[in-house]
Structure 1
């Protein structure tokens, strides 16, 4: 079976920017003529989405641009809501955003740091005491060479993925049982994702217990603070912390502290706000090679239902949104609309030394701060944001002060496709900049 769960396109936006220029070449001529920048941007944006959708892999593409100084939004969509056609995708249609949720969770943490409720150098022992949840001892979350160190892990290390704790979804347990991802892949192999959803129940508590009971906590990659390794486990723990220190559910915290202040009307927490069966979600796919060498584009959201691994935490995944709301979020976050102090976002967006020096030079999330990554462009600029497993991204361009929300909703080869796509979307705005009104 050929599949690769991690993102691997850290430099693709830089590498593929020339391809994006070719992609938009047909719209560059139109861009130089209109006096109305809105028409220019909308035309280029639609061209980018049209050129990205329609293949066997990419059933649809969605995008939004948000100019934070004017509040203007441009949206576009192309393709069909699900494989097989029939229903055209809408530009405002919702989808699951996977690991972009980490940026939302890190934002809540930094708000609480500003307020003095939390401190980045607080340890798990100080935050949770002896147990995180019943039966899961804090010290046992990181055991290396027989020595428990879980209580000494800091909040800063959780946010920056420098704890050394393995990923509870992707890592192979040392006790010989299959990883949670491998179990899912087995069901995909047989074409029965719906059976998997119906037979597997998981929540944040059971996920954390699996991490300890399967021996993952006793096989860390390194001592806390010594290196960098992207891990869902770090942000799973933030869920327990955020609800513990505030006395509120994640759904309430996100709504009151992020959604409402930024006017995000299409974003919800999975399982907390609305019955997802009543939502008209686009479908998300995973095109992969089976053991017999055949390829299958598997619908990972049959009947609108999500696989349990996608929503157990609410801090590493588990949110539904659309491209407009994602653009509003990353744009508002980057321009200080969610913080009291100007330096807070800068602190979030400062890449850790451990990630800069990481040996995993090909990983998209190699450069990492607190819930944010940086991606260089070939013009010497940088995009700041995060991506999720289903080929969904939210990035901010500090140079043009434009935010991008984008989705192709395909897990396979997403690094290649999203590298091209984000480059094209960035170019959609920049090729019209001579006409942009920032008043």
Structure 2
């Protein structure tokens, strides 16, 4: 790949090397897109068995970066007047969100995308924590969930707050958003994603796997210590799993090149009309202790101002075995995807922002 003269390669390589040497990740890689130029680098191994290095073009699970894809589709449908962001959840999914302070007649689609609905996050349900954030994950990694089951888990818990009165990151919001996409279009979420984003942008490595448990294309392996805090806890290969518990939320599989293309096209205005893009990028500061301190959130996308004064837009994502960060400048000209193939560290926030700062120039 071409190396951009503005890319501080030595600094970035140092961060990658430290991720492996000091944090113990099997590998970390980064791909920067700067206009029409790209640069890829990695440290460590993508496969502990074979010892091969990460390759540009490897597919991997992107976790909650999925949310930005889901929000983009919803905003496209809004631009086409197929739905309104002011529609209630009940308008499209009548009777689904009920109980324990949840009321779908009072929650709007905009509140779903902006995490202001107050709906309890189903991934915080005690059953889900036990199954997916403990050693029991090995027994449950191939469990299959329907979206309505995830909503039932959420509403079996008390609502976090009254709709529109606070901010709270909840994966349940984007399960509902993806269900609404299916209801409005009459198609599966996977097909809509393919037709509206993947195929038009030529994202040949990006797809929603549904109930598939293996990654289709060339890929490395991902590893987990099953949330055990011991630094010497055994490492397990968790590459193959059912991501149905991340429907519309964290299930997508992609590549670094595809992610950089997607975010570049989104931020530069080629996926959404100006009104919808402006609404997506209208940021609300995240209250301290509610998610990532110092970040702001729009509709399915976040922003952070780096120590050098540059503000970048994008999303992070975690799913069992891997962490990903995707951020770029507001004009979509410079984009960075970075990934580690281990899920310990909650998340590796000492690494990802450091790499962001190294990758993005100081604003003049």
Q: Structure 2 length normalisation: TM-score?
A: 0.87
1:84 CA displacement = 5.5
Would you say 1:38 and 2:4 are equivalent positions? yes
Query: 1:61 — aligned with what?
Result: 28
1:251 CA displacement = 1.6
Deviations 1:128-180 (A, max 9, x none): 23xxxxxxx3351x542xxx622221111111111111111113xxxxxx331
Choose between structure 1 and 2: higher helix proportion: 1
1:297 CA displacement = 4.6
Structure ID, larger Rg: 1
Would you say 1:119 and 2:119 are equivalent positions? no
Matches within 5 A, 1:64-79: 64-67=31-34, 70-79=35-44
Query: 1:52 — aligned with what?
Result: 19
Partner of 2:144, secondary structure, is coil
Matches within 5 A, 1:104-183: 104-129=69-94, 137-138=95-96, 140=98, 143-144=100-101, 149-171=103-125, 178-183=126-131
- Give structure 1 stretches of 5+ with no counterpart: 1-35, 130-136, 172-177, 434-439
Q: Which moved more, 1:276-285 or 1:39-48?
A: 39-48
Structure-2 separation of matches of 1:365 and 1:128: 34
Matches within 5 A, 1:34-433: 38=4, 41=7, 43-44=9-10, 45-55=12-22, 57-67=24-34, 70-83=35-48, 86-129=51-94, 137-138=95-96, 140=98, 143-144=100-101, 149-171=103-125, 178-188=126-136, 193-198=137-142, 200-212=143-155, 215-216=156-157, 219-271=158-210, 276=214, 278-287=216-225, 290=228, 295-299=232-236, 301=238, 304-306=239-241, 308=242, 310-339=243-272, 341-352=273-284, 355-356=285-286, 358-360=287-289, 363=292, 367-389=296-318, 390-398=322-330, 401-415=333-347, 417-428=348-359, 430=361
1:311 CA displacement = 3.5
1:336 CA displacement = 0.5
Deviations 1:254-288 (A, max 9, x none): 1121112222121121137x772553432223346
- Give structure 2 stretches of 5+ with no counterpart: none
CA RMSD of superposed structures (Å): 3.0
Q: Higher relative CO (CA 8 A, sep ≥ 6), structure 1 or 2?
A: 1
Structure-2 separation of matches of 1:362 and 1:194: 27
Length, aligned pairs only: 359
